[in-house]
């Protein structure tokens, strides 16, 4: 009797259904049309490159082969491309004399990263890129930002539903030099970059921990920090905490912290964006945008989807200036800048954005009919704070009430049983997050087990409004 092979996918890979594949195809067609309109020509490079041509620029240093899938062939190492930019650098160097300067190209296709998978983080995904090689002008960076705005709108994102944030690596370089972190201290600098890149998600305290000894996340995993002292941490945090506002206002605040090339570069980008008619609401200057890839040398930018109620759906694209990448192949400087839309991530984010727009009310469960008044009071408090909410007024038990909440497309269920009442607390059950995590049960049981604990949290009764708002916005209370 033959042994049956288990029908299972490798961790971090997904099967794309017709609907999902169609959504991604439509995004590529829409974004590609914008790139073509702006004068970019399509180029397709192979999925596999010689490993030394790709370089080691990924931020995930915990993997044995530093984030790339590699294999040996004819005594040379080959790797699946981890993005579409590194192969472009090889192509430009190989065809340098025949290409116009600047060279404007766009591309779309799958890329692979040998990283730890998780919710929404796959090892294979599609990107759609545009790059300008051969221009050192900050106007080229501004053009990438403006074109990214047009591309997102063409892909179906309404104006006001996204924001491009930009900065320059030179800001951080200036601060690191000031606090004594040498330019050749690559490992320390990379840990600092990765910490700052998580500012929106972890906040000042979380980033400070990563700049210091390290941080333990909600699952118990510990991430080693950069080991900086208190003064060094403060200098970096002062930079990334400059704050939001109009681009001119942020530039004025930055002038009190840094001077020189970094500030002049940002002023030039701001002037070009204004000339292109890009409003502050479309593109904002944000010093905590640094991007995780090591090869960026100057301007960096990131596209984020946001909901009408301020919910942030996360990054759906990014890019920046990489003046040293082509130069790895040639003994001369070759400036370059580019932007990449994560097609798979954008398709998923658009789905999530649409779901949020049709989201049902928060449902307050009634665990004891004698205490229905308490549930009605909590629902009333939430409504007074601007949150859609209702108390369950049927006759079912807890399971029936949760099924009701699911059918109502409720994002959160509020539960106060006898134990919570005695402790003066309530339990919030993140139903939307729970449904997302449940999909991992058959794909990545380890990640599923860790994340399942994050679906439910007990909070003091007096913090109900703050905690519900935070959960709706995807942040920790």
**Contact status, residue 414 vs residue 363, Cβ threshold 8 Å:** yes
State the pLDDT at residue 62: 44
State the pLDDT at residue 313: 65
CATH fold label, 18-354 = BirA Bifunctional Protein; domain 2 (3.30.930)
What is the C-alpha separation between 426 and 228, in angstroms, rounded? 39
Please indicate whether the domains covering 18-354 and 360-472 agree at the CATH topology level. no
State the pLDDT at residue 356: 63
Beta carbons within 8 Å of 252's beta carbon, 6+ residues apart: none
**Domain layout of the chain by residue ranges:** 18-354, 360-472
State the pLDDT at residue 469: 87
**Which two three-digit tokens encode residue 139?**
């106007």
What is the C-alpha separation between 141 and 164, in angstroms, rounded? 12
- pLDDT tens series, the chain, 477 aa: 678 998 999 988 989 888 889 999 999 999 999 999 999 999 999 999 998 888 766 554 444 356 788 888 888 889 999 999 999 999 999 999 999 999 999 999 999 988 877 766 789 999 999 999 999 999 999 999 999 999 999 999 989 889 999 999 898 888 888 888 887 777 888 788 788 878 877 888 888 999 998 998 766 778 889 889 888 999 888 888 887 789 999 999 998 888 788 999 999 999 999 999 999 999 999 988 887 667 788 999 999 988 654 456 678 999 999 998 999 999 888 999 999 999 988 998 887 767 666 778 999 999 999 999 999 999 999 999 888 999 999 988 999 999 999 889 899 999 999 999 999 999 999 887 776 565 544 445 555 455 555 688 899 998 999 889 888 876 433
360-472 has CATH 3.20.20.140 classification: no
**Contact status, residue 84 vs residue 109, Cβ threshold 8 Å:** yes
- Tell me which residue of 253, 270, 83, 293 sits closest to 169, measured CA to CA: 293
């Amino acid at each position: 009797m033959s042994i049956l092979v288990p029908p299972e996918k490798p961790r971090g890979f997904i099967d794309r259904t017709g609907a999902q594949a169609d959504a991604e195809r439509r995004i590529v067609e829409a974004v590609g049309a914008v790139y073509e309109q702006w004068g970019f020509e399509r180029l397709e490079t192979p999925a596999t490159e010689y490993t030394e041509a790709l370089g080691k620029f990924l931020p995930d240093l915990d993997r044995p082969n530093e984030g790339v899938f590699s294999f040996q062939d004819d005594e040379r190492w080959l790797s699946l491309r981890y993005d579409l930019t590194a192969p472009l650098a090889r192509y430009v160097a190989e065809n340098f004399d025949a290409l116009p300067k600047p060279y404007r190209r766009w591309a779309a296709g799958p890329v692979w990263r040998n990283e730890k998978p998780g919710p929404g983080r796959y090892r294979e995904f599609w990107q759609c890129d545009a790059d300008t090689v051969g221009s050192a002008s900050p106007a080229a960076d501004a053009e990438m930002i403006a074109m990214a705005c047009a591309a997102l709108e063409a892909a179906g994102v309404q104006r006001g539903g996204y924001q491009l944030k930009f900065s320059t690596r030179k800001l951080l370089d200036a601060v690191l030099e000031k606090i004594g972190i040498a330019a050749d201290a690559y490992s320390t600098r990379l840990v600092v970059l990765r910490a700052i890149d998580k500012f929106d998600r972890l906040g000042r305290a979380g980033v400070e921990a990563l700049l210091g000894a390290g941080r333990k996340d909600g699952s118990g995993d510990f991430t080693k920090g950069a080991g900086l002292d208190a003064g060094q941490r403060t200098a970096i945090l002062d930079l990334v905490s400059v704050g939001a506002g109009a681009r001119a206002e942020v530039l004025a605040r930055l002038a009190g912290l840094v001077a020189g090339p970094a500030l002049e570069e940002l002023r030039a980008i701001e002037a070009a964006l204004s000339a292109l008619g890009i409003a502050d609401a479309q593109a904002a200057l944000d010093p905590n945008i640094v991007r995780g890839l090591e090869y960026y040398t100057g301007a960096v930018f990131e596209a984020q989807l946001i909901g009408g109620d301020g919910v942030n759906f996360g990054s759906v694209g990014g890019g920046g200036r990489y003046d040293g990448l082509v130069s790895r192949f040639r003994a001369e400087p070759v400036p370059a800048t580019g932007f990449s839309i994560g097609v798979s991530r954008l398709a998923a984010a658009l789905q999530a954005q649409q779901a949020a727009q049709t989201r049902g009310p928060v449902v307050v469960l009634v665990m004891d009919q004698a205490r229905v008044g308490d549930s009605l009071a909590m629902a009333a408090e939430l409504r007074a704070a601007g949150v859609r909410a209702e108390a369950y007024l049927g006759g079912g038990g807890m399971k029936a009430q949760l099924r009701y909440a699911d059918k109502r497309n409720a994002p959160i269920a509020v539960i106060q049983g006898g134990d919570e009442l005695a402790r003066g607390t309530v339990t919030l059950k993140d139903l939307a997050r729970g449904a997302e995590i449940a999909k991992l049960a058959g794909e990545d049981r380890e990640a599923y087990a860790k994340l399942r604990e994050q679906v439910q949290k007990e909070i003091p009764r007096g913090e109900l409004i703050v905690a519900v708002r935070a959960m709706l916005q995807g942040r920790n209370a």
